[in-house]
Structure 1
Amino acid sequence: MGHDASLAVDRGRYQDARTPWDQEAWRTVALGWVHDRLAAHGLRASGPLRVRLRPWSVLVRVPVAGREAVWFKANPPASGFEAALTAALPRWVPEHVLEPLSVDTGRGWSLLPDGGDLFRTVLERTAVEPRAWESLLGQYASMQCALVPHAREIVRLGVPSARPAELPEVFDKLLVDNAALRPDERARLDALRPRLMDWCTELAASGVPDSLDHADLHDGQLFRPEPGRYTFFDWGDASVSHPFCSLHVTARRACERYGPEVLPRLRDAYLEPWTGAGRTAEELRRAVRLAWRLSALGRARAWGGLFPAATGTALLAGQSARSLMELFEEPLL
């Protein structure tokens, strides 16, 4: 499992991205940890590694003799909580997530089994009806409902707290930290703050309890090992927030594929597990519209979770600025 200089490394759009993988000492320790953790399960690596580097993660596909490959992931400090969260979720919602082979919570490392086909791969390979998206959103919402009692414990694992009442503070910090905003954009956002405060207050009073928000739940962030069953992963952008903030990204992807006419059914499939407890359908739909807007803050925050000394930060600051400007977009639902 030694590092091969000729190894194909995928850096995507970030060809000059600096990550710990570029340090030979770090590679030696990390791959040694993978070797030891595999051995503890009676497994051994077999074959060339595939490496994917981004300013926010190191991901290595490790072929294993006699079984599917495993995946090593290293997070930067800002999302280092993912290892602890990945280890905890199978205790609470085992039917919805992967169980890691091992994690190192101190270093933000995870070793994960293969989860089967990505939903994105299934979409590329076969015709998939919109009802499959309804099914995945219903399953995801059921998982969020099951995680409500664990929200405080999830925060104690290091997952950011971004409850509706805390979002104005998140908004303020994003404005201070982002150097990519143009003066006119900053002025518009400053002027928006009173309305944002009202949205947060109303959403906090919606009666829907806080839970885990994936914050980037698209077709490349979940597996579909078999029809009607989905496995959710990649929690590096997650927070504890209003759960409905999760709907925006998934619904937009489905809208791009099938058109806006699918959105009401997707919304209602997502909301079904949240019905009851005195909440009316109109109240839930109003909360969806508020969370749709405010979810932009979670996406804007996620662009800042980089490795120390990572390059390409100007590009990512621009991405964060674009996410902030989504606060002005009218919800599609």
Structure 2
Amino acid sequence: MRHDASAAAVERGQYPDAVTPWEDPAWREAALGWAEHGLAAHGLRTTRRLVVRLRPWSVLVRMTAEGEPDVWFKAGPAGGAGGAFEAGLAEALARWVPGHVLKPLAVDDARGWSLLPHGGTLFRDALRQDSSGERAWEEPLRQYAAVQRALGPRAGEMGRLGVPDARMAVLPSTFDRLVEENAALDPATRTALRELRPRFQGWCDELAATGIPDSLDHCDLHDGQFFTPGPGRYTFFDWGDAAVSHPFCSLLVPLRTAAERYGPQALPRLRDAYLDPWTDTGLTPAELRRAVSVACRLGAVGRACSWGRLFPGTGEAPGAAESARWLRELLAEPVLR
């Protein structure tokens, strides 16, 4: 069956000039054919209604499955662009922490393709009906921390799947590379970051000394990155920015999101909810909180790295500019002391 791209509604957001493989008819034909084959393996058939979201880092196609909730085809940058690991990681996570992550209907590791089911109500949408304020974040953060604890022994396997390495032992060299290679950094900021290097090394050493094992850092855990399929249940997805790192680095984005919505006074409560599953690690509450403060600084490097995972041909913008913005965060006060 030939797929007519003109029948699809295409949304490019803030990236009207995004370079993606969707514009290649042969790629599009292969991708949609693969997705339909994956649906057929589950006894599903797609109709012709397609909604396409194009970004410099992903192609996301919403497809109507006949008689069933919509499904999504997702493609990230394959080859040497650094994002092909997401499909294989999502498949592995569904085995390692079932019920806590979105389970793909099909994956193609080599091409970085995945076919994803409907996941229920997005947490962002659920928040619109929730009057509990920042407390609504407490249970998802507890459950996410529990997932990270369960995944700690899998850090080596995640590395072999191609998940980027952002462990404390390698983060200083990553920092050096980003600072020297980013063309969007102005000279004054580059100088300030170079001068920060000894303190940065100290933060990495301090966090490594906590003894908490490396695990999966989502790197972009905002309110649009997990579903609420039932009361008190949460399933996490969208691992394209992920890295193997100190788990507490994951708190940077949700705490920033909560601060913008509820104000900084909400953050200690959410930090402590996240730390509930870590209270048996042998660290005191004060030591755990200090570790969060340090990790929320270092998490900016993971965010800076993620902007390098774009489709080939995208060029410096917007990756370099966004990466530079996150590097500048290292010079600011942490989101939570």
2: distance between equivalents of 1:173 and 1:332?
A: 24
2: distance between equivalents of 1:7 and 1:63?
A: 12
2: distance between equivalents of 1:173 and 1:3?
A: 43
Q: Which residue of 2 aligns with 1:161?
A: 165
3-state SS of 1:330 partner: coil
**2:195 corresponds to which of 191, 197, 206:** 191
Q: Which residue of 2 aligns with 1:300?
A: 304
Corresponding position: 1:246 with 2:247: no
Q: Give the deviation of 1:38 after TM superposition.
A: 1.1
Q: Which residue of 2 aligns with 1:221?
A: 225
Corresponding position: 1:331 with 2:331: no
3-state SS of 2:116 partner: strand
Q: Give the deviation of 1:330 after TM superposition.
A: 1.4
Q: Which residue of 2 aligns with 1:277?
A: 281
Q: Which residue of 2 aligns with 1:111?
A: 115
Corresponding position: 1:40 with 2:44: no
Q: Which residue of 1 aligns with 2:216?
A: 212
**1:310 corresponds to which of 308, 314, 317:** 314
Corresponding position: 1:82 with 2:83: no
Amino acid of the structure 2 residue aligned with 1:277: T
Contact 1:132 1:228 in 2 (8 A): no
Q: Give the deviation of 1:227 after TM superposition.
A: 3.2
Pairwise CA RMSD:
1.2
Q: Give the deviation of 1:44 after TM superposition.
A: 0.6
TM-score normalised to structure 2 length = 0.96
Per-residue deviation, residues 32-86 of structure 1 (Å, max 9, x unmatched): 1011111111111013100000000000001001111111000103111001000
Q: Give the deviation of 1:3 after TM superposition.
A: 2.5
Amino acid of the structure 1 residue aligned with 2:185: L
TM-score normalised to structure 1 length = 0.97
Amino acid of the structure 2 residue aligned with 1:105: D
Contact 1:207 1:279 in 2 (8 A): no
3-state SS of 1:266 partner: helix
**1:140 corresponds to which of 139, 144, 148:** 144
3-state SS of 1:161 partner: coil
1: distance between equivalents of 2:188 and 2:226?
A: 38
Contact 1:69 1:113 in 2 (8 A): yes
Work out the number of aligned pairs and report it: 332
Contact 1:300 1:321 in 2 (8 A): yes
Contact 2:215 2:247 in 1 (8 A): yes
Amino acid of the structure 2 residue aligned with 1:169: S
Structure 2: which 5+ runs fail to align?
none
Per-residue deviation, residues 111-160 of structure 1 (Å, max 9, x unmatched): 01011111111223443432220111101000000101111111111101
